[in-house]
Structure 1
Amino acid sequence: MKALGFPKSHRLLRPADYSKVFDDVKLKVPHRNFLILATPNDLGHARVGLVFSKRNLKLAVQRNRVKRQVRETFRHQNDLPGVDIVLLGRQGLASLDNPTLQSILNDLWRRLKKKYHQSSPSRAAESQPAGRGTG
């Protein structure tokens, strides 16, 4: 069984990494409680950055709980495309329990993969094995 870690290589660490996503958004996945902004990278794997404000989640314990859930669901997404992702929290997150958060996040990751493959047919074709055409 493959170990599911969350190494530094899978995180957005520097302000420049966040700025790159905010300045050049290619994919948006909205939800009532979250907003995912993403832009392709050349690393071959996804990286995630989290933005949760005190305005939307008043207590640190609430922010930390939601961030843990996001990281945990992200770790289990082994087929995400090579994109840099910024996940922003919106109001109403504090009232959600963990199973609800997990189901929302899993749906958001699925929608992100779908949008990525719809928006970039050339990248989707590159990821297909050679000799598998539609003709």
Structure 2
Amino acid sequence: MLSHLKHKNLVSFIGFCDEKDEKIIINKHESHESLEKYLKGSVLTWLQRLQIFVGIAQALNYIHYDAERNISVIHRNIKSSKVLLDDNWEPKLSGFELAMRNTSERRHRLLLAEVIGTIGYMDPVRIGYQRTY
């Protein structure tokens, strides 16, 4: 799935390994590692934080709504450790292990049968019960 997605704010897909019970996605290494490392300190200015936020929003808009593709992608595990930062502090969304494809015809109506993600980052309403979106 990631090999079909091309956006400046998505991690660069290099390859994958699929052997026995091991499934590994290989991405480009980003020099500043994850956003999680920088949120608590004062390394990032408010302007940098805003630019990172905008980059993440652009990446999500692209995977959810890009009109040129017949599919949309639901990430299902957005959190600061899944946002990598490059040399210029540009955010790169990663962590597509739990992602799900959805056709554009069903984009506005989707039944998610199971709750997947990291509890602390999930919509509290979704944790309690399944719902049609």
**TM-score (structure 1 length as normaliser):** 0.33
The higher relative CO (CA closer than 8 Å, separation ≥ 6) is in 1
